[in-house]
Amino acid sequence: MKYLCMVLLLLMVACTPSNHLDGPFNVTRVIDGDTIVINTGEKVRLSGINTPEKKECYYEEAKNKLSDLVYGKKIYLERDYSNKGKYGRLLRYVHMNGKDINFILVREGYAKVYDKYAYDTKKYKEMKKEELNARNTKLGVWSC
C-alpha cells in the first residue's frame, strides 16, 4: 500500500503542468501582436491568444503594444502544454517583472483568446475571464 501511494504521488507530480519559468531572454524583434524573436534566434508565439493580422483592424495597435511591453527587454518564458505550434514557433506565456504579458494583451483588448486551441492552453479559462470585460466594454479588437 505504501509503495502504491508513492507511485501515485509520483505520477501526479509528473502529470501536473509546471509553472517553471525559463530565462531571462532578451526580445530582439516583435513580428506582430503575438509573435516575438528572442536572443537565441527562436520565434516565440504567445500561447493562447490571437491578435489581428496585417491589414486587419487593430493590427498596428496590437503590434505596437507588444513592442512597448517587451522589445529590448528581459523576459521569462513559461511553456504551455505543447512545446511548439504548427509553424515551429515556441508556444509560451511571456512574463516580465512578475506580469503575464499574454493576459495584459487580452485584458486591454489587444488580443482575443484563441478558442480554437482551448484544449491545448493551460490558462484558457483564466484568460477567458480576462477577455469578458474587454469584450463587454468594446476595448481594442472588440471595437472593430
Residue numbers annotated as active site: 45, 53, 89
CA distance 75 to 66: 12
Amino acid at 110: Y
Q: How many residues comprise the chain?
A: 144
> DSSP secondary-structure letter at 135?
H
CA distance 56 to 33: 12
| β-pairing verdict for 74-84 and 90-96 | antiparallel
CA distance 41 to 19: 23
CA distance 119 to 54: 27
